[in-house]
């Protein structure tokens, strides 16, 4: 063990969580700041890390997307065009490189989480983990033997096209690009756009949970056949809804024709890392 410290950033749409950890994952400091403009938020983050007085070996940033992760691109480490105000084109890494002069790793929050769950969480020792978050948006990362699935950039698993649930044919979906893609049908804002409440607030017997589980279960059956992960870990506010995980497992089993019968409960699970998953994802990125 060394005294090296890593600066960790979990960059989210409403807040940035900052942390200082050693290589074992022990957190020595933690802070959260609101997401405002890039200049305000990244500037405040740099100042906070400087004030901790640590000797940093590197930084890890696990961020909302979409991100430019092509090492040959002049915009590497920048946020790609996004509906989120102020953040299109924002460079996430430059300020940290300039101020601290150490390597800065950046990837999506879901790629960080996939790596962290594979190293220390629900997928420890299994070799391959698909991590999906279903909350404000939907995104996925796939880690196989320590490698993250990537093409020109990170995967966009939330934007696959879906069949329509027979009781849900009229809803146009909330994705600004596709309307009724998976994210446009099953993310938190899509639930509220249809029914005016989150899934956990809907009354007993309301079809909402059943319909959302139907979409997620079908998407998981698709991802499972393409990637054959040893574990599918579901994070995010929507999947934390009481009882939803079991409904999703049942729908995934139907959707894949019983192909995973007998192992569905172990195949599809909740995250193993709890509240620190985002920061541990950033650490996993920094340690690579």
Please identify which residue in 181, 219, 248, 283 interacts with Zn ion, judged by CB under 5 A: 181
Give the DSSP H or E segment for 16: strand 15-21
Least CB distance to Zn ion at residue 241 (A): 22
Site string for Zn ion, 159-178 (x = CB under 5 A): x---------------x-xx
For residues 21 and 114, is the Cβ–Cβ distance under 8 A?
no
Least CB distance to Zn ion at residue 111 (A): 18
Q: Which is nearer to Zn ion, 180 or 251 (CB)?
A: 180
Q: Which is nearer to Zn ion, 36 or 178 (CB)?
A: 178
Contact stretch for Zn ion (CB under 5 A) within 60-68, 115-123, 155-163, 220-228? 155-163
Between residue 91 and residue 150, which ones bind Zn ion under the rule CB under 5 A? none
Least CB distance to Zn ion at residue 287 (A): 32
Residue linked to tokens 């320590």? 146
Least CB distance to Zn ion at residue 153 (A): 15
Q: Which is nearer to Zn ion, 154 or 249 (CB)?
A: 154
**Distance between CA atoms of residues 269 and 71, nearest Å:** 33
Residues binding Zn ion: number (CB under 5 A) = 5
Q: Which is nearer to Zn ion, 185 or 247 (CB)?
A: 185
The answer for residues whose C-beta is within 8 angstroms of residue 94's C-beta and 6 or more apart is 77
Q: Which is nearer to Zn ion, 159 or 288 (CB)?
A: 159
The Cα angle at residue 279 between residues 275 and 281, in degrees rounded to 5: 105
**Does residue 157 bind Zn ion (CB under 5 A)?**
no
For residues 191 and 239, is the Cβ–Cβ distance under 8 A?
no
Q: Which is nearer to Zn ion, 44 or 160 (CB)?
A: 160
Nearest to 157 by CA among 143, 142, 144, 172: 142
Tell me the CA end-to-end span of the chain in Å, nearest whole number: 17
Q: Which is nearer to Zn ion, 21 or 185 (CB)?
A: 185
Nearest to 274 by CA among 117, 64, 130, 60: 117
Least CB distance to Zn ion at residue 154 (A): 15
Six-digit token string for 156: 């966009």
Rg (CA), the chain: 19
**Distance between CA atoms of residues 210 and 214, nearest Å:** 6
The answer for residues whose C-beta is within 8 angstroms of residue 149's C-beta and 6 or more apart is 141, 142, 143, 155, 227
Contact stretch for Zn ion (CB under 5 A) within 18-26, 102-110, 156-164, 275-283? 156-164
Least CB distance to Zn ion at residue 38 (A): 24
Least CB distance to Zn ion at residue 178 (A): 4
Q: Which residues bind Zn ion (CB under 5 A)?
A: 159, 175, 177-178, 181
């Amino acid at each position: 063990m060394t005294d090296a410290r890593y600066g960790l950033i979990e960059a989210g749409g409403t807040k940035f969580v900052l942390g200082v950890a050693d290589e074992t994952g022990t957190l020595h400091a933690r802070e959260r700041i609101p997401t405002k403009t890039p200049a305000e938020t990244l500037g405040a983050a740099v100042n906070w890390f400087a004030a901790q007085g640590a000797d940093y070996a590197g930084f890890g940033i696990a961020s909302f997307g979409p991100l430019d992760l092509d090492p040959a691109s002049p915009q590497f480490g920048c946020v790609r065009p996004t509906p989120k105000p102020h953040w299109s084109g924002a460079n996430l890494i430059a300020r940290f490189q300039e101020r601290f002069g150490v390597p800065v790793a950046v990837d999506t929050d879901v790629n960080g989480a996939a790596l962290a769950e594979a190293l220390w969480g629900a997928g420890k020792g299994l070799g391959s983990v698909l991590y999906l978050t279903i909350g404000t948006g939907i995104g996925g990362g796939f880690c196989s033997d320590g490698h993250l699935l990537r093409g020109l950039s990170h995967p966009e698993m939330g934007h696959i096209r879906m069949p329509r649930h027979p009781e849900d044919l009229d809803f146009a979906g909330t994705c600004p690009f596709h309307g009724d893609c998976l994210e446009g049908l099953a993310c938190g804002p899509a639930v509220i756009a249809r029914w005016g409440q989150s899934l956990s607030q809907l009354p007993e017997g309301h079809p909402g949970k059943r319909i959302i589980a139907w979409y997620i279960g079908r998407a998981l059956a698709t991802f499972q056949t393409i990637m054959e992960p040893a574990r599918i870990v579901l994070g995010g506010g929507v999947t934390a809804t009481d009882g939803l995980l079991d409904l999703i497992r049942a729908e995934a089993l139907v959707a894949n024709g019983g192909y995973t019968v007998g192992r569905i409960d172990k195949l599809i699970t909740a995250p193993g890392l709890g509240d620190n998953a985002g920061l541990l994802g950033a650490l996993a990125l920094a340690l690579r």
